[in-house]
Structure 1
Amino acid sequence: MQDAHSKPSRFSLQFLGANATVTGSRHLVTAGNARILVDCGLFQGYKPLRLRNWAEFPVDPASIDAVLLTHAHLDHSGYLPRLVRSGFRGKVWCTEATRSLCGILLPDSGRLLEEEAGHANHSGWSKHHPAEPLYSEADARASLARLRGVGFDHGFEPVPGVHARFRAQGHILGAAAVTLEFEGRRITFSGDLGRPDDPLMPAPASLAASDWVVVESTYGNRAHPADGLEEELLAVLQRVVARKGVVVIPAFAVGRAQMLLHVITQLQASGRLAKVPVYLNSPMAASVTGLYRQFPRLHRLDAAELDAMQRTTHVVESVEQSKALNRHKGPMIIVSASGMATGGRVLHHLVAFAPDPRNAIVLCGFQAGGTRGAALAAGQKHLRIFGQEVQVGAEVVQLAAGSAHADASEILAWLRTAPTPPRGVFVTHGEPDAADALRTRIKHELGWPAHFPEYLEQVELA
């Protein structure tokens, strides 16, 4: 215990990402002489943000003692292989499910980055000669050796003198809030906050007692619709099936792909939707679905529901099968990664099916600014894919009920579960209008100090 008259050790927080954007989550905590990085995500979307992935890391990676991951989505974990390649040698702490998911997501990310660089070199559309990936599949696999799995609500010390604990957040398998305690001072990072009525995931656990809270604000200025996802999705699927079209659904391989397939399976089983072919064209999403059986206590689906989903869905394994799918006629439904159409096999389906007005592109979940998904949601009629212009004649629908993130009122409800009011809240992981709207509501409705930090801003947790 610290002497009552001694000066407390330094405890500070620097925001290295997810400021005025929903990607690149990276928060650097200094506790005494130790450095802990909470989340290690990729920047996605607008080019100036993506260029931060290539820039020199704001602090020497070798000086970081530990990394803690709130969950496995690439905007929270996807920079880890680059950090390790640049000199980080500490342990990476996460929940067991996050560790398993990273074992799938990170090598897949490296492989896609290599394929994209190879395609750019073959087609000559990159300004870089030769184009190189941010990291390779081998880099990603090497980084996995640093991961250490911890159970929910189990205390651990990522560095001596700092106590940490993960609490379940819903959202996706393994997603957690993490609370750090150092010399009697506590800070909690929300990670991505799930919804209380998500079809797949349980409601988030209550907020731990904290002096400071870093909270996400993806939907900080919005309310999710009262009608459920099932009705919203059914309406567009029925329209497209009736005109014998193809439905292409860019879906995040972790969480949203499984949720969509579950809902489609239920709709077909009930007879409300015709039993047209349903394809899952994402090897990563197929592997992730297997983890739902490995972690049955972390989600709402039972074995029978997983079996039904497996029977309904045709999994596309090889590249040749993926290419052949583009020659198929409708009606059919294709669920494919990535969720914001930033890469992956879904891009080839957009090239094949986006021009035809009989077809539909269904967006499920938040579309970060600067992504193809955001361009589609905004009504853009041309997409640039693989160096060519693709006309968008297909119907584009963004599902308002399809998000795995809490909306503004749900975030406030979670904050209200705090045993005592915190000394301050930092609002991150949101576009500027969303983050500032949530900051205002926290200030006026909860009466707590709230701040919308800037990129690279540093605060003392005194």
Structure 2
Amino acid sequence: MDVSVKFLGAAGTVTGSRYLLDLGDFEFLVDCGLFQGRKELRRRNWDKFPMPPTDMEAIVLTHAHMDHIGCLPKLVKDGFSGPIYCTAVTAELAKILLLDSGKLQEEEAEYARKKGYSRHENPEPLYTVEDAEAVFPLFVPQEFKKPFSIHPSVEVTYYYAGHILGAAITKIVIKGDKQTKKLVFSGDLGRYHDPLLFPPTLIPGADVVWIESTYGDRISTPVKPEEELARAINDVFSRDGLVIIPAFAVGRTQLVMYYLYQLMKKGKIPNVPIYLDSPMAINVSKLYQEFHQDHQLIAVLDNTDQHPFQHSQLHYYRKQEQSRTLNDLKGKAIIISASGMATGGRVLHHLFHHLPDERNGVVFVGYQAEGTRGRRLVNGDTEVRIYGQEVPVKAKIYSVEGLSAHADQNELMEWAEGFSDKPKLAFIIHGEEKSASVLAQKLKDELGWNTVIPNYLESFMLFEGI
């Protein structure tokens, strides 16, 4: 048996995670994500898949972020009909996120059509809500730490990755006629001291490793993120301003809600209204109670008097009409809304209306990919384009460290050091050029790893005649 891999995404860039494994008589995909960020990357989402989706027999997901699952509806629409394996939480999260994505894409296409700011005469969504719903029957949920078979020669096991609820390090064992080989995909690795999630699992050995490198070139400053968050909020409130927190609906929003509740209880920020303006984030927060065995918050959620997701200052806004009322909101309050990189969603309305007011503040709480509005705001741009208009940036922009769901360089190295037998080959993925290069060199110098930074659409033969 020969085994090869083709890199269909997250190669030389952070987003678009897709890896096609070919065993000759069995082809399957690890992750099926959207490209995000720069326009030239986003255009890849519309490209024809490099092989007929009908020829692919299975998909294995690491976790439910859109850059890992967001292309599933398009693939299914184009003919894929095989099983999609993932952890049980990931299946539920994916349903929430894909429905939201389909709705947003329909709305944005309609808005572009109405306002006439698209290059296309009749702009169409990449996929619809109906396309998203067609994915759901294909999910095959799995438990953590329990091996399952996706083919007579392929066994998969999920381990905690710590990145978001349900995120998994994925071990794939390929049983050839002569040898057995182990592949390990890090997925996105989380922090080692996250108050919500279990830390990434150490894996003792693998023949080939795919390791993410989002923060491969940087070490997080040892700060207490809740204190940094409090400083930013109090600075805005000193001007009687409004705080907008763009946050991913999965993971980051729940972490921010946890810290805000703790800060209010301890008197470190005023007791002010918090508006969670994201139906998706509201639905995700409920999953923390349903899947309590997959995170560390169970003792907190069991205490109804100390519940960070249910308290008098927290207001859940599901409806669009409720969201619009926040456009005229003034003074001390906090709006949490998606998306985390300000690439779409309801947060754009809040930025559109509140960025021009110098009293206000926008607090970013995670990684801002190259080419996103979030990156431009953090970089100090004085204008950003929203809904086809240039919006002046007079609100103060803050970036809070320590809230990232991604492991930094030290934590990536700590995970890599967990391999008692070094892999024969390590692919450095899911990072921009500099971060991938720095991590690749560090793994080579300190651990003696044979590292490769793959290019988009590049193929590699992993094993011959096993």
TM-score (norm 2): 0.96
- Give aligned-pair identity as a percent: 46
Q: 2:242 aligns with which of 242, 246, 263?
A: 246
Question: For 1:380 and 1:436, how far apart are their aligned partners in 2?
Answer: 27
Question: For 1:308 and 1:430, how far apart are their aligned partners in 2?
Answer: 33
Displacement of 1:427: 0.2
SS in 1 for 2:309: helix
Q: Does 1:15 align with 2:7?
A: yes
Aligned match of 1:86: 78
SS in 2 for 1:36: strand
User: Do the aligned partners of 1:341 and 1:372 also contact (CA within 8 Å) in 2?
Assistant: yes
Aligned match of 2:263: 267
Write out per-residue CA displacement over residues 66-99 of structure 1, whole angstroms, 9 at most, x where no aligned residue: 0000000000000000000011111000000000
Displacement of 1:199: 2.2
- What is the total number of aligned residue pairs between the two structures? 454
SS in 2 for 1:309: coil
Q: Does 1:115 align with 2:124?
A: no
Displacement of 1:208: 4.6
Question: For 1:233 and 1:369, how far apart are their aligned partners in 2?
Answer: 23
Q: Does 1:440 align with 2:441?
A: yes
Aligned match of 2:451: 450
Q: Does 1:392 align with 2:393?
A: yes
Instruction: Structure 1: state its 5+ residue gaps.
Output: 1-8
Question: For 1:342 and 1:357, how far apart are their aligned partners in 2?
Answer: 22
Alignment root-mean-square deviation, CA: 1.0
Letter of the aligned partner of 2:317 in structure 1? V
Q: Which consecutive aligned stretches of 4+ in structure 1 deviate over 3 angstroms post-superposition?
A: none
Displacement of 1:284: 0.2
Question: For 2:54 and 2:309, how far apart are their aligned partners in 1?
Answer: 45
Q: 1:66 aligns with which of 58, 79, 84?
A: 58
Q: Does 1:173 align with 2:144?
A: no
Aligned match of 2:402: 401
Aligned match of 1:326: 327
User: Do the aligned partners of 2:244 and 2:350 also contact (CA within 8 Å) in 1?
Assistant: yes
Aligned match of 2:68: 76
Question: For 1:158 and 1:91, how far apart are their aligned partners in 2?
Answer: 9
Aligned match of 1:50: 42
Question: For 2:72 and 2:106, how far apart are their aligned partners in 1?
Answer: 16
SS in 2 for 1:414: helix
Aligned match of 2:288: 292
User: Do the aligned partners of 1:245 and 1:359 also contact (CA within 8 Å) in 2?
Assistant: yes
Q: Does 1:144 align with 2:136?
A: yes
Question: For 2:36 and 2:209, how far apart are their aligned partners in 1?
Answer: 24
Equivalence map 1:366-381=2 (5 Å): 366-381=367-382
Instruction: Structure 2: state its 5+ residue gaps.
Output: none
Write out per-residue CA displacement over residues 221-278 of structure 1, whole angstroms, 9 at most, x where no aligned residue: 0011111211110101111112110111110000000100110010001111100111
Letter of the aligned partner of 2:321 in structure 1? E
Displacement of 1:452: 0.7
Question: For 2:293 and 2:144, how far apart are their aligned partners in 1?
Answer: 12
User: Do the aligned partners of 2:223 and 2:401 also contact (CA within 8 Å) in 1?
Assistant: no
SS in 1 for 2:437: helix
Displacement of 1:174: 0.5
Q: Does 1:230 align with 2:226?
A: yes
Letter of the aligned partner of 1:260 in structure 2? V
Letter of the aligned partner of 1:345 in structure 2? R
SS in 2 for 1:102: helix
Aligned match of 1:6: none
Letter of the aligned partner of 1:273 in structure 2? I
Q: CA distance change for structure 1 residues 208 and 73 in 2, over 3 Å: closer, same or farther? A: farther
Question: For 1:214 and 1:308, how far apart are their aligned partners in 2?
Answer: 35
Equivalence map 1:303-342=2 (5 Å): 303=301, 304=303, 307-311=307-311, 312-342=313-343
Question: For 1:419 and 1:146, how far apart are their aligned partners in 2?
Answer: 37
Aligned match of 2:95: 103
Write out per-residue CA displacement over residues 356-386 of structure 1, whole angstroms, 9 at most, x where no aligned residue: 1111111111111111001111111111111
Aligned match of 2:424: 423
Question: For 2:308 and 2:136, how far apart are their aligned partners in 1?
Answer: 32
Aligned match of 1:4: none
Letter of the aligned partner of 2:279 in structure 1? P
Write out per-residue CA displacement over residues 429-453 of structure 1, whole angstroms, 9 at most, x where no aligned residue: 0010000000000000101111111
Question: For 1:401 and 1:392, how far apart are their aligned partners in 2?
Answer: 25
User: Do the aligned partners of 1:365 and 1:402 also contact (CA within 8 Å) in 2?
Assistant: yes
Letter of the aligned partner of 1:218 in structure 2? T
Q: Does 1:255 align with 2:251?
A: yes
Write out per-residue CA displacement over residues 337-369 of structure 1, whole angstroms, 9 at most, x where no aligned residue: 000001000000001110111111111111111
Moved more, 311-320 or 166-175: 311-320
Q: 1:278 aligns with which of 274, 298, 314?
A: 274
Displacement of 1:308: 3.6
Q: Does 1:461 align with 2:462?
A: yes
Displacement of 1:198: 1.2
Letter of the aligned partner of 1:248 in structure 2? I
Letter of the aligned partner of 1:122 in structure 2? K
Letter of the aligned partner of 2:27 in structure 1? R
Displacement of 1:25: 0.2
Displacement of 1:309: 3.0
Q: 2:209 aligns with which of 203, 209, 213?
A: 213
Displacement of 1:207: 1.8
Question: For 1:144 and 1:47, how far apart are their aligned partners in 2?
Answer: 29
SS in 2 for 1:310: coil
Q: CA distance change for structure 1 residues 162 and 308 in 2, over 3 Å: closer, same or farther? A: closer
User: Do the aligned partners of 1:188 and 1:208 also contact (CA within 8 Å) in 2?
Assistant: no
